[in-house]
């Protein structure tokens, strides 16, 4: 946060003291919002680069579309028999995509928060290889969250390292190193036109932006509102007990940027806008191979839906849940429109479409069923935080209705898509992901793609090895051991009963850590997350919790 804003906050505190501190939070949020806003120009039409007017003769490599949802819980879609509001909100288009190809039924996010997962999708490499381990946050956000979170109402305080904060560069400069080779760079070398639409969150400088990391064109989410708060077609659901949510409402705007240009207003509701622009990209590139990375903001907070989608769910009586469900309608509609556009352009049979989420659903939105039946939330390594849907459709190559039950992860996407495109992955570095095509196309090798998967966020680490999963943390100092084959929802902690298995898995974690590097940037803040309660539920000293660093 700029010096100007903090001077304003300091003045606000002096004023609040004079008022008996009664309204200091409101004053701080007002100043954060009004001093941190930027000028937003009118919407600008995007003139997407066009491929040739006619398709070249002969075979061409498949187009690739990666659709990434944000904070999507396993129970937010109806594919697995659930759905929002006890199944009232169906996701027929996402369900159809899953049925069209392969359902990777034990798929894992690279991390339990968004940005590191995105880095692993792009590179096929663990954060311990490149150091992009913590999620960058807007300038000043951690300090504001600490003020709001530590109000005496919670059993465990949020922790902030002031020295680390002083040594951390601005959010735009916290990026995936340009020396990393991304999916876009790999496919571009194969002759693909590469397009990014939506969230990036991997830095925004000449080294770190999507354009710098291999994308020919980038329509960037430049702030965090789906529509202006006072737009006549929006329905808002503010979550006042969530410090993150209150900061986002105060600070964020509805804004986009194209290829690093000035900020301008999106045309309509953000999910629909990204979808409409994606359809234009598909049409413009129908005669050449392309990569479209559609990184939706939906269904991340702030909770905002179109009035039409909200009105489509009158049977949901809880306002916040109804808005959340309406946001899901827009995301599902996006998938349907993308698939319809491929059909209309005659590209459906030669396009690989991937759908997944960056991590599990967030407990801080106060909706308890988003990750059902799994425990935990975003910002934990329990299954609810890292278990994600992953569907891969490629007609003619991946049989319809394929179910792959082996553990796989985000790191597998880059090498798999490179293999499908006939592109070479970098030979000068370790690629942790595995090409999954032999398993997806029916060859079914006897060996599973992975014996072991790893996660790390500072002092909190996890490993999954041949069905056994260990989480271990320094804060609180505790181990959690589960046999996922017998206990897939992590109900019974076997750490004390099986110290030999704990030691075995800790040795794997130690070797993984020794072979890698530390984080690029320091851990500025750690937030306590109650495993079995949402942030809207009153927590007690006896509730199981973890601290999430970074």
Give the containing element (helix H, strand E) for 217: strand 217-221
Q: Are 522 and 164 within 8 A, CB to CB?
A: yes
The H-assigned helical ranges of 19-73 are 24-36
**Residue 41 Ramachandran class (φ > 0 left, ψ -120 to 50 alpha, else beta):** beta
User: What is the rounded CA–CA span in Å between residue 97 and residue 519?
Assistant: 36
Picking from 96, 524, 530, the residue whose alpha carbon sits closest to that of residue 333 is 96
User: What is the rounded CA–CA span in Å between residue 288 and residue 193?
Assistant: 8
Q: What is the pLDDT of residue 443?
A: 86
Phi, psi for 505 (deg, rounded to 5): -75, -35
Q: What is the pLDDT of residue 1?
A: 44
Q: Are 131 and 118 within 8 A, CB to CB?
A: no
Phi, psi for 535 (deg, rounded to 5): -65, -20
DSSP 264: B
User: At 336, is the secondary structure helix, strand, or coil?
Assistant: helix
Half-sphere CA count of 436, side-chain side, radius 13 A: 31
Q: Is 180 exposed, middle or buried (0-12, 13-18, 19+ CB in 10 A)?
A: buried
3-state secondary structure 246-276: HHHHHHCCCCEEECCCCCECCCCCHHHHHHH
Q: What is the pLDDT of residue 26?
A: 73
Tokens of 351: 């396009």
Reported CATH class of domain 37-41+61-458+519-549: alpha beta
Picking from 32, 174, 123, the residue whose alpha carbon sits closest to that of residue 418 is 123
Q: Are 359 and 92 within 8 A, CB to CB?
A: no
Give the pLDDT of the chain (550 residues) as one tens digit per residue.
Answer: 455 555 555 555 555 545 544 466 777 776 666 666 789 999 999 999 999 999 888 889 999 999 999 999 999 999 999 999 999 999 999 999 999 999 999 999 999 999 999 999 999 999 999 999 999 998 788 988 898 899 899 999 999 999 999 999 999 999 999 999 999 999 999 999 999 999 999 999 999 999 999 999 999 999 999 999 999 999 999 998 888 888 889 889 999 999 999 999 999 999 999 999 999 999 999 999 999 999 999 999 999 999 999 999 999 999 999 999 999 999 999 999 999 999 999 999 999 999 999 999 999 999 999 999 999 999 999 999 999 999 999 999 999 999 999 999 999 999 999 999 999 999 999 999 999 999 999 888 989 999 999 999 999 999 999 999 999 999 999 999 999 999 999 999 999 999 999 999 999 999 999 999 999 999 999 999 999 999 999 999 999 999 999 8
Q: DSSP letter string over 287-326?
A: TS-EEEEEE--TTSSSEEEEHHHHHT-TT--SHHHHHHHH
Q: Are 304 and 329 within 8 A, CB to CB?
A: no
Q: What is the pLDDT of residue 8?
A: 53
User: What is the rounded CA–CA span in Å between residue 256 and residue 45?
Assistant: 12
Sign of CA dihedral 116, 117, 122, 125: positive
Q: What is the pLDDT of residue 15?
A: 54
Phi, psi for 52 (deg, rounded to 5): -65, 155
Which active-site residues does the annotation give?
114, 201
Q: What is the pLDDT of residue 18?
A: 53
User: What is the rounded CA–CA span in Å between residue 63 and residue 350?
Assistant: 6
pTM metric for this prediction: 0.95
The domain segmentation of the chain, as residue ranges, is 1-36, 37-41+61-458+519-549
Q: What is the pLDDT of residue 550?
A: 87
Q: Please report where in the chains the tokens 């996890």 appear, as a residue.
A: 462
Sorted by sequence, the CB contacts under 8 Å of residue 3 that are 6+ apart come out as: none
CA-based end-to-end distance of the chain: 17
User: What is the rounded CA–CA span in Å between residue 480 and residue 470?
Assistant: 6
DSSP 406: S
User: What is the rounded CA–CA span in Å between residue 529 and residue 512?
Assistant: 26
């Amino acid at each position: 946060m700029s010096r100007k804003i903090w001077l304003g906050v300091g003045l606000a505190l002096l004023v609040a003291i004079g008022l008996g501190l009664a309204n200091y939070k409101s004053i701080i949020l007002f100043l954060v919002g009004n001093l941190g806003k930027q000028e937003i120009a009118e919407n600008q039409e995007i003139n997407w680069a066009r491929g040739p007017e006619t398709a070249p003769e002969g075979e061409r490599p498949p187009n690739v579309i990666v659709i990434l949802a944000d904070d999507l819980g396993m129970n937010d879609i109806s594919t697995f028999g659930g759905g929002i509001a006890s199944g009232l909100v169906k996701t027929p288009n996402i369900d159809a995509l899953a049925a069209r190809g392969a359902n990777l039924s034990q798929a894992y996010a690279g991390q339990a928060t968004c940005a590191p997962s995105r880095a692993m999708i792009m590179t096929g490499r663990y954060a311990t290889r490149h150091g992009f381990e913590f999620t960058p946050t807007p300038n000043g956000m951690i300090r504001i969250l600490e003020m709001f979170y530590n109000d005496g109402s919670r059993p465990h305080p949020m922790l902030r390292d002031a020295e680390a904060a002083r040594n951390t560069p601005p959010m735009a400069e916290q990026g995936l190193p340009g020396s990393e080779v991304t999916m876009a760079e790999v496919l571009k070398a194969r002759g693909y036109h590469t397009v990014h639409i939506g969230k990036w969150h991997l830095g925004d400088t000449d080294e770190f932006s999507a354009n710098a990391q291999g994308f020919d064109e980038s329509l960037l989410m430049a702030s965090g509102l789906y529509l202006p708060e006072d737009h006549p077609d929006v329905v808002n659901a503010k979550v006042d007990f969530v410090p993150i949510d209150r900061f986002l409402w105060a600070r964020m705007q509805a804004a986009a940027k194209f290829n690093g240009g000035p900020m301008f207003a999106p045309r309509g509701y953000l999910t629909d806008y990204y979808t409409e622009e994606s359809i234009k990209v598909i049409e413009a590139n129908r005669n050449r191979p392309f990569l479209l990375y559609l990184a939706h903001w939906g269904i991340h907070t702030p909770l905002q839906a179109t009035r039409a989608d909200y009105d489509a769910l009158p049977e949901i009586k809880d306002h916040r849940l109804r808005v959340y469900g309406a946001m899901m309608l827009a995301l599902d509609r996006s998938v349907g429109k993308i698939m319809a556009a491929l059909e209309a352009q005659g590209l459906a049979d030669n396009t690989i479409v991937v759908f997944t989420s960056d991590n599990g659903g967030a407990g801080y939105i106060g909706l308890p069923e988003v990750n059902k039946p799994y425990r935990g939330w975003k910002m934990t390594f329990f299954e609810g935080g890292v278990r994600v849907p992953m569907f891969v459709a490629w007609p003619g190559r991946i049989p319809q209705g394929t179910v792959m039950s082996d553990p796989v992860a985000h790191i597998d996407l880059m090498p798999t898509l490179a293999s499908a495109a006939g592109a070479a992955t970098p030979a000068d570095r370790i690629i942790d992901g595995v090409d999954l095509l032999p398993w997806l196309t029916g060859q079914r090798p006897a060996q599973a793609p992975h014996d072991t998967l790893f996660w790390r966020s500072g002092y909190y680490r996890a490993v999954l090895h041949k069905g056994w999963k260990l989480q271990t943390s320094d804060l609180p100092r505790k181990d959690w051991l589960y046999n996922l084959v017998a206990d897939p929802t992590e109900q019974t902690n076997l750490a004390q009963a099986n110290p030999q298995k704990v030691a075995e898995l800790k040795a794997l974690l130690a070797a993984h850590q020794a072979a890698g590097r530390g984080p690029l940037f320091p851990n500025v803040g750690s937030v306590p997350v109650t495993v079995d309660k949402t942030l809207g539920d009153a927590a007690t000293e006896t509730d199981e919790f973890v601290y999430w660093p970074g």
